[in-house]
Amino acid sequence: MLGHEIGHVVARHSAEHIAKSQFAQLLVTAVGVAASDEEHPGRGQQAAAAAGFISQMVTLRYDRGDELESDKLGVRFISEAKYDPRSLLEVMRILAANSGGSRRPEFLSTHPDPRNRKETIRAVSAERFPQGVPPDLVSHCKRVS
């Protein structure tokens, strides 16, 4: 998980998220002002609410992309530190198991479904190690799926 979190820092996801949020808020305000008029007093608020919902859905999509990018960077950082990147698969298994089947639909979540993340981790590991993960990398997981 540490490699994943370092990936967020290296990719500057926090700074990007703040900039996107500020821009989205500016757009929501502009839509509300543009839709306001004296004949329909609630129209501006309704338009701003709709714009806010759309903005939130777009922002969530970017958040999920950031998570996948951090997973990819995590595989890189973990393997460069001589750890087996497949250990991330066990982390995803634990996350999926702890959701207890009550996971929100992916399009409403800031994080991709752990099963999708496992696919990304496997693909990046295979790309990084086309001949297979070297046996000398350290693994701290008892179960890797």
Work out the angle at residue 94's Cα, subtended by the Cα atoms of residues 91 and 100, and round it to the nearest 5 degrees.
150
Rounded distance between C-alpha atoms, residue 117 and residue 114, angstroms? 5
Q: Report the pLDDT value the prediction gives residue 40, as an integer from 0 to 100.
A: 78
The amino acid present at 35, given as its one-letter code, is A
Q: Report the pLDDT value the prediction gives residue 145, as an integer from 0 to 100.
A: 46
Q: Report the pLDDT value the prediction gives residue 51, as an integer from 0 to 100.
A: 78
Query: Which neighbouring-strand residues pair with 138?
Result: 83
Q: What is the pTM of this model?
A: 0.60
Domain residue ranges in the chain? 2-128
Q: Report the pLDDT value the prediction gives residue 65, as an integer from 0 to 100.
A: 82
Full DSSP string of 61-115: HHHHHHHHHHHHHHHHHHHHTTB-TTHHHHHHHHHHHHTTT-PPPGGG-SS--HH
Rounded distance between C-alpha atoms, residue 103 and residue 82, angstroms? 33
Q: Are 110 and 67 in contact (CB under 8 A)?
A: yes
What are the tokens at 53? 């919902």
pLDDT lower than 70: segments of the chain: 57-62, 100-110, 140-145
Q: Report the pLDDT value the prediction gives residue 125, as an integer from 0 to 100.
A: 93
Q: Report the pLDDT value the prediction gives residue 110, as an integer from 0 to 100.
A: 66
Q: Are 84 and 3 in contact (CB under 8 A)?
A: no
